[in-house]
A and B are shown apart, each in its own frame.
Chain A
C-alpha cells in the first residue's frame, strides 16, 4: 500500500479519513509539494512519505531541493502548493514552533545552540518551566539524563556548549528534539561534520530511535552511509522525485543514475608526478591552537609544481592549523614557511599566488548577506576590471558572475541571489570558482567536498586536478581517504599535530594510512615529506 514511488491519486481519500486507509500506519505524507524561488522550482510536485519506525533517506544532487522540502516540513518555509499530512490528518505548519508541537524535530547542519549556555540550559531553552517564574532545572535534568541514557547519547549537562565537540553538539541537538517530543526527526546532512567513529555511533542512535517507532529523515551525499542505515530511499533531481525504493533494492549505480542521470565514479586518472620546483615549503613549523594548546608540532612538508599532496587524518589533528599557517592567518611559533620563497603573510593579497578553499564555507568562505556576484569577487573586487580608481564597476562584476555561474554550473536564480539562499554544494562552487579563477601557484583546499553530492564531488576534484595539470601545487586536506587516494600524488598523514608519514596513493597502502591516523608510527619507504 502506497510504498514504492507511489504519489498523487490519494488526495480525495487521504483528507481526514483515518478509517478508510488500510494497513500501513503512515506517519508523514507530503503531497505534491511545490515551492518556487523566482523562476527556480526548488520542489516540483514532490510527494514524500515516512512510516513510523522508518529511516528514510533523501538523496539528490546539490540544489535538488532536499533542504527546501525539509524546511517546508519544519515550518521554516511555506509551500506554494501541496499538502502535508501527519498521521493521515492534513496539517498546516506555519512556523518551527508549530512543527515542534506537532512532534517534528530537526537537526540543522548548522547547529542552533547558544554557545554560552550549558547543554541542559540549551535543552530547556524555549520550553516553559514547570514552575513558571522560576527556572526549574531538577526535573528537566532528570528527564534529559534519562533520554540520554536510553538512546546512547552521552552528554555532560553542565558543560557550556562552546566546549563541546561537534559530535557532542549534534547529540545535544538530537536530545533537544527528543526532549520536545519529536516523533519525526529530520537530520539534514548530519554526518558531514562527523569523524568516522562518530558516524557509527550516530547510526546506532538512529536505529534505536527508529525501533521506538519514530520516523527519521536522513539526508546525506554518501551512498555508503545511506546504504548502511536507511530502510528506504527517495531520490530528488532538479526538484522532482525520480524514484523511491527500498534500500535493499538500491545499488550505487542505480542511485547515482537516478540522481545525476549517469553513472559517476571516482577513478584515478594519469598521475603525472614530476619532480619540479618546490612551491610550498614548510620546515619544522609549530603553532598553537585557538585554545593555546600545541597545534602543529615540527611539521615539514614540500609541495611541488604540478603535484597534489593529500593530507589525511582524523579531524582536529592539526589540519586546520596547518591550513591557516600556510595562508598566513595564524602566527607560527617556530620553523619556516615559504610560498614561492616568500613568507605567507600577505600571500592572500598577492595576485595569483595562493588560492584558499577554507573548511567552513559559511564562516570562512562566504558573506551570506552578499549576493553571488559579490561573493565571486570577494578577493578581486579591488582590481581591474572590477574596480577602477577605487570605484567598483558593477557591470563587470555582474557579467563576470554570469560567466562563472555558467562555467562552474552554479545553480541559482541569478547573480543577484543572496548566497545564503544557495544550496550547500552551490555555495561551495562559488568558493571554488573564486579561488581558482586567477590560476594561483598554490591551491590549498580544506575539505573541499564536504557536503557535496557525488556529481559535485567529481567536478570539484576534477577542477582540482585541472589546477594541478595546469602546473599548480595543490595541498588537499580531507578526511575522505577514497577521495585523497583518487586524486593525490602523495598522501601524508597527520596525527596530533605531527606528520606521521607519507605514502604513495596505492590502494594497498590504505591500511598503513589508517594505522598512522591512529597515531602509530610506521617505517615507510616514503618519498619525502616525513617529519622528525
Chain B
C-alpha cells in the first residue's frame, strides 16, 4: 500500500518533469517538418534518415555517443550553475582553456602509467576551466558584477588565447612547422580508452554519465548541494541564515567552470588527440540549451544531451540521403528551446502539479 503510493508518486513526478521537454521536442519536430515540406522535401524521409544515422547501427550509435559527450559535460556545467542561481554562459571559453591545460599535461612524456596520466590530464582540464571562470566568479561574488557579461566576454578571449598558444611559429604549445595550428600529439598513456573498438566512442561518455549521477546526489543529498539550491532558490533568505553567499557563488562557479574544462579535456584526450584551433563548434553554447531543456536537472541533462547528440549524428546521414542541409538540426534545436521557454506549456504543468500540491516532490527542481 505504502510503497504503491510512493511508486505512483514517483511516476507522476517523473511524468510531470518530462511533459515540457517531450512536448517541446515534438512541437519542434512538427514545425521543422512543415519547413521541410515548404522546401519540397519529405519530413518523414528526412527524420527517418536522421534516425538511421543516429541509431541505425552500432557505428551510428557510437557517433551519437561521441557527439553527446562534450554537450553532456557542458550541459552539466551550465545546469549546476543555474541551480545555484548563477548564469555561467562562458562554458565555451572554459572548455577551450580546459582543453589547453589538459593538452599541456597530455603531450608531455611523463612516463606515467596510463591510468594516472589520464587522470592528471583530466584534472588539468578541470583546473583550467575553473581558473578561467575564477575572475568572473570573484567579480560576481565580491564586486556584484554580472557574471553573464564577464563569462560571455571571456569566451572570445579564451578562443583567441588558444589560437595563440598553438600557433605553429610563436605559440608555446604549438607544433613547430606544422601546416595547421595544432599542438603536439597526445601521448599514448594519456588517451581515454575507446569503448567500442572500431569506433571513436571513448570513455568521456562514461565520465559524463558518472558526473551527472554524482551531481544529482550532490544537489539532493549533501550540505553543499543544499546550500547551492538555497542560493538558487532565494539568495536573500540564504543571506539571512548567515550563509556566506559570496563563497557559495564562487564554489558553484568553480565547479561549473571545471566541468566545462573537463569537456574540453575529454575532446582532446578522447577524440582528437591534439588541440586544434577552434575545435569546438559551440559546445559551450549547446550546453546552455541542453541545460534549459533538462530544466537544470543533472540526470535530465543525460537525456537532453543525448537528443542533441543524436540530432548532430543524424544530420550528415540526412543530408546524404535527402539533400536537406544539416543546418536543419540547428533549427530544430532552437525551436525546441523556444517551446521549452514558452509560457503556457509550463503554466499547464504548474497548475496540474499545484492541483495535486499534496503530492509535489521535496527535492525541488527550480527553473533557472
Contacts and interface: CB of A to CB of B under 8 A. Distances in A.
B360 interface: yes
B240 interface: yes
B358 A38 contact: yes
Nearest to A357: B240
A349 B362 contact: no
A368 B234 contact: yes
A525 B362 CA distance: 55
A367 B234 contact: yes
A414 interface: yes
B239 interface: yes
Contacts of B111: none
Contacts of A363: 234, 236-237
A201 to B, nearest CB: 30
Interface string B231-242: 001101111111
A364 B240 contact: yes
Contacts of A229: none
B223 A382 contact: yes
Contact of A417 (B234, B238, B242, B360): B360
Interface residues of B, number: 31
B240 to A, nearest CB: 5
B160 interface: no
B351 interface: yes
Contact of A392 (B223, B230, B233, B357): B223
A418 B357 contact: yes
B195 to A, nearest CB: 31
A369 interface: yes
A417 to B, nearest CB: 6
B223 A367 contact: no
A342 interface: no
B359 interface: yes
Interface in B243-281: 243
A465 B222 CA distance: 36
Contacts of B238: 367
B223 A390 contact: yes
Contacts of B364: 369-371, 418
B237 A365 contact: yes
Given A39-B358, A416-B360, A416-B362, A391 B223 contact: yes
Contacts of A74: none
Nearest to A347: B242
Interface string A302-331: 000000000000000000000000011100
Interface in B313-358: 351, 354-358
A8 interface: no
A371 to B, nearest CB: 5
Interface in B216-236: 220-226, 229-230, 233-234, 236
Contacts of B241: 348, 378-379
Contacts, number: 100
Contact of A379 (B221, B229, B242, B355): B242
B237 A364 contact: yes
Contact of A390 (B222, B239, B240): B222
Given A364-B240, A367-B230, A413 B358 contact: yes
Given A37-B357, A367-B230, A391-B223, A346 B237 contact: no
B361 interface: yes
Contacts of B236: 363-364
A78 B348 CA distance: 12
A368 B236 CA distance: 12
B357 A417 contact: yes
Given A347-B242, A370-B233, A391 B222 contact: yes
Interface centre among A39, A358, A363, A370 (most CB of B within 10 A): A370
Interface in B190-216: none
B309 to A, nearest CB: 30
B366 interface: yes
A59 interface: no
A431 to B, nearest CB: 10
Interface of B: 220-226, 229-230, 233-234, 236-243, 351, 354-362, 364, 366
10 contacts: A329-B240, A349-B242, A356-B240, A367-B234, A374-B226, A379-B241, A379-B242, A381-B226, A387-B223, A418-B357
Given A327-B242, A391-B223, 5 more contacts: A77-B354, A349-B243, A368-B233, A370-B233, A392-B223
Q: Ordered nearest first, which 7 A-B pairs have the shortest CB separation? A: A38-B358, A348-B242, A413-B358, A367-B233, A367-B234, A349-B242, A364-B240
